[in-house]
Amino acid sequence: MRARDLAVAYETVSVDSDAMDAARLMAEHKLPGLLVLDERGEPRAILPASQMIKALVPEYVIEDPTLAAVVDEKHADRLCQALAGRRVGDYLSSKAAPPPIADPDDTALEVAALMAQVRSPLVAVAEKDKAGPGGREKGRTHLLGVITASHLLHELLGAAGAVSTG
C-alpha cells in the first residue's frame, strides 16, 4: 500500500489562525495535533495538542507541578483565556522542524520509518511540482492528505492479520 492510498483528509490551520479555534478543533475531533500550513498553503509545522495544553498551564505550575493542587476550579476555568487573541504561529517554536512529508509513492513501511525517525503523530503526504524554467523557481508542494500514527498502525496490524474487523 502506498502513501497516497493511506492519506486521508485532515484538519489543517495556518500560522495566522486563531489559537483558540485551533485548540477547539483538536478537542472536538480528538486530534493528536494539527498540520500547520504557511501562507502558500504548504506544510510548515505540526502543532501537537500537548503544546496547546502547555499554553494553558501557568509557567509557575510547569516549574512546580505541586502548585497545581492549590489552583481552584474557578481559576482553572480561566486557563483557556491564555489563548485569547493569540495566533497558532505564537505557539510554534522558531526551531520547529518542518513536518515530515512522505512522497505519494512511498510504501507504508517507508512512512512508518519516517514517522518513527522523527517521532511524529502524523505525516503529510504531498507532491512537489518541478522547479520552474532553468530550475531557478522553487516548486510548490501540494498536500494530498495526512497519515496519522493510529491509522498507519491500524493498517499495518490489519495487513498482518493482527486487528479484528468486528
Q: What integer pLDDT is reported at residue 68 of this predicted model?
A: 79
pLDDT at 97: 83
Q: Over the range 85-117, which residues count as b (16 or more CB within 10 Å of their CB) and which as e? A: eebbbebbeeeeeebbbbbbebebeebbebbee
pLDDT at 75: 67
Q: Are 53 and 23 in contact (CB under 8 A)?
A: no
Number of structural domains the chain divides into: 1
For the record, the C-alpha cell of 20 comes out as 483558540
- The answer to whether the CB of 124 falls within 8 A of the CB of 47 is no
Residue 23's pLDDT is 92
Each residue's pLDDT, cut to its tens digit, for the chain (166 residues) gives 899 999 999 999 999 999 999 999 999 999 999 999 998 888 999 998 988 888 888 888 888 888 877 777 766 667 777 888 899 999 988 887 889 999 999 999 999 999 999 998 899 999 987 765 555 556 678 899 999 999 999 988 887 776 665 5
CA 82/CA 79 separation, integer angstroms: 6
Closest CA relative to residue 145, chosen from 48, 6, 7, 52: 7
CATH number, domain with residue 106: 3.10.580.10
Residue at 91: amino acid letter: Y
Residue 149's domain comprises 3-164
